[in-house]
Amino acid sequence: MSNLSEIDESNAQLLAAWKYFSRDLPAGRIEEIDGACLISSGTQMAMLNIIALTSPARNAGDLERRARRGVERARAAGVPWFMVVSDGWSPGGDPAATAGVLTRLGFQPVLAMTGMVTDTLAPPRHDPSGLDLRRVSDAETRAAMADINSGCYGTSIPDGRATIGHASNWTDGAFGRLGYLDGQPVCCAGTFLVDGVRYVGFVATAAEHRRKGYGEAVMRRCLDDAEQTTGARRTVLHATDVGRPVYEAMGYRAVTRFVFFVPPQA
């Protein structure tokens, strides 16, 4: 069972990770907004353009005030975006209260992710044969990482390369791996040192190669790389509903759910 400190940690890690991914992009923008934060990649990749709370909402009125301010500032950025609120930071810890406030303002929930954490991974369940795990280390491998993610999550290739594949995301503190079969990249993952924690992101496997343990294998290798280099043991991620069972089998446990809301039309 999660506790308040882990809920706060999961929220802080989401904020810090999204900032990490946008901080040095050419059109990246990070702006504190009185209880919320605008984090924008400056591209059409909506998942990397968010308004997120920086502390728990005290009540429904407090959440509404922050949401209205967020809409004002995010519209000026001129890119698609989401407002993200965790169940644990909803007014009174009640996600229904968040849904009520935001739907009344014209927001619509479109997807959810689960904040997850572990200090110790479970033993591997698979030992995929023939998978060549290579570091993300140059423009070619950064582009491959971006392209696999773009294919899995419906993002355009140019936007994926301009964000996930940007060189600024793969400096010290970033540990990425690609899995190759017969010389072709088929899966990938990244681990990023975020506030002393191994944050996992950009885990993706090409559709025709799923359910073979490739994603778990490449992710474990990234985590090992990060631990060997930094000594960090704790690891945090935010899982889609599809990925959550894989992470649970690896030893991660759920902390709090994050709901992504599409903003009202102008």
Contacts of 117 by beta carbon, 8 Å cutoff, 6+ apart: 6, 9, 10, 234, 235, 236, 252, 253, 255
Report helix, strand or coil for 266: coil
For the chain, residues with pLDDT lower than 70 are 1-2, 266
**pLDDT, position 46:** 93
Say what the pTM is. 0.95
Q: Which two tokens stand for residue 39?
A: 């984090």
Three-state secondary-structure class, residue 69: helix
Q: At what angle do helices 60-77 and 95-104 cross, to 10 degrees?
A: 50
At residue 1, the pLDDT reads: 44
Summarised one tens digit per residue, pLDDT across range 43-57 is 999 999 999 999 999
Predicted local distance difference test score (pLDDT) of residue 170: 97
Q: For residue 149, give the DSSP letter.
A: H
Alpha helices by DSSP H, listed for 133-257, are 139-153, 157-163, 214-230, 244-250
Complete domains list, the chain, with CATH: 4-113+256-262 (3.40.630.30), 132-233 (3.40.630.30)
Q: Tell me: the pLDDT tens digits for 104-118?
A: 999 999 999 999 999
